[in-house]
Amino acid sequence: MSGSLFAPDGGPWLERLSAGSALLHGWARAGDARLLEAVEAVLGQSPPRGMVTPGGQAMSVATSSCGDWGWVSDRRGYRYSAVDPDSGQPWPAMPDPLRELARGAAAEAGFAGFDPDACLINCYLPGARMGLHQDKDERDFSEPIVSVSLGLPAVFLLGGLRRADKAARILLQHGDVLVWGGPDRMRFHGVQPVQPGIHPLLGGRRINLTFRKAR
């Protein structure tokens, strides 16, 4: 799909940001209650927890995962793990509504056939942020990243392939899905501190679901 599609009725629409990046505005809004229910069930089994970076810094975002692989960080490094280190049990299965959303959004953005095996769940309270980084712990960089935003809005920084490249500031609102892959797969990105607020469905939180093909 080229250019941008605007929905005349205020429904979801695709904004093409560049060759490998698309913002699907409001894409996850219609099914948000069902989606959130599935996410809360996962978080009930594997509660969000603060992790530390390999350098020993506490992350301000609390994280959990579902699917075959979960992303973890500790003093030993960043990696994917088949078990939740807190419980010693496998991560909760990826709920169908999450998998279907990720697959559909990827296809709409030009990445048909995306079949994620990992969903990282990032939980932000006001003040939480994520520094500029690349997603590079996955095996196959030809697979895109599908990132779903729920709850409080956030300013996403979408940089270039070098850390020093100027980053675009993109407002991510409840139900927005950002997809990047192909030539954009290794773009640096981050999230500015979430501002306080109350979202009707999520209250004073932002939840981000990052779908990836880890292995």
Binding mask 152-171 for ligand AKG (x = CB under 6 A): ----x---------------
Interface size with ligand AKG, residues (CB under 6 A):
10
Q: Do 209 and 60 form a contact (C-beta atoms < 8 A)? A: no
46 binds, among Fe ion, ligand AKG, none (CB under 5 to 8 A by kind): none
Say whether residue 135 binds Fe ion (CB under 5 A). Answer: yes
| Three-point CA angle 171, 175, 177, nearest 5° | 70
Q: Which is nearer to Fe ion, 35 or 158 (CB)?
A: 158
Burial 76-91 (b: 16+ CB within 10 A, else e): eeeebeeebeeeeebb
Q: How far is the CB of 47 from ligand AKG (least distance, A)?
A: 17
3-state secondary structure of 56: coil
122 binds, among Fe ion, ligand AKG, none (CB under 5 to 8 A by kind): ligand AKG
Say whether residue 32 binds Fe ion (CB under 5 A). Answer: no
- Calpha distance 128→144 (Å, rounded): 25
Q: Mind spelling out the 3-state secondary structure of 92-137?
A: CCCCHHHHHHHHHHHHHCCCCCCCCCEEEEEEECCCCCEEEECCCC
Say whether residue 69 binds ligand AKG (CB under 6 A). Answer: no
- Calpha distance 118→144 (Å, rounded): 12
Q: How far is the CB of 133 from Fe ion (least distance, A)?
A: 6
By CB under 6 A, name the one of 102, 147, 177, 180 that touches ligand AKG.
147
Binding-site ranges for ligand AKG (CB under 6 A):
120, 122, 130, 135, 147, 156, 189, 191, 208, 210
